[in-house]
Amino acid sequence: MFQPDPCTKARVKRWLTSDEAGLFILGSVGLGRAVSLAPWVVDIHRRPVHLLEQLFPPHVWGLIWLLISVGCFVAIVWRRSQPLAVAAMTGIHFFWAASYSFTDGRGWVPSMTYFSIFALILWAFARGRREPELVPQEPPKLE
């Protein structure tokens, strides 16, 4: 059975718990939202579903989601832009949650989903690393 060496395990664990992994998840979620608002998916002539769609039609919001998602993917390699990418994705989730809160009927359901993602982003990125984790450069020597 394959057993990865301790260095590889430590590197994988470190990446999976990194801000870069969080940005990859956020970028992927935003990309999904962008595709769901594309003109070939949503009828651009339908009546607005929530408050923000009264400002711009769905395909414009899809483009905004796409730009923020690309920003998250760029921030994985350009670390200085990470605060901006996280703030943009956090902000758009908050505004969409608030926008759905003011709709009639069952608008509270998507609102709750957007608020949950908003809260999880704050929780995940605000907590940071608890302690620096050292990644060994060589596997330990067994004697």
Q: Where are the chain's structural domains? A: 6-127
Q: Rounded to two decimals, what is the model's pTM?
A: 0.81
Instruction: Return all residues near 83 (Cβ < 8 A) that are at least 6 apart.
Output: none
CA distance 72 to 81: 9
Distances (CA, A) of 121 to 51, 74, 100: 23, 18, 19
Closest CA to 90 of 59, 130, 57, 123: 123
Closest CA to 28 of 69, 65, 62, 64: 69
- From first to last of its 143 residues, the chain has per-residue pLDDT tens of 777 777 787 888 888 888 899 999 999 999 999 999 998 998 888 888 888 888 999 999 999 999 999 999 999 999 999 999 999 999 999 999 999 988 878 888 989 999 999 999 999 888 765 555 555 566 666 76
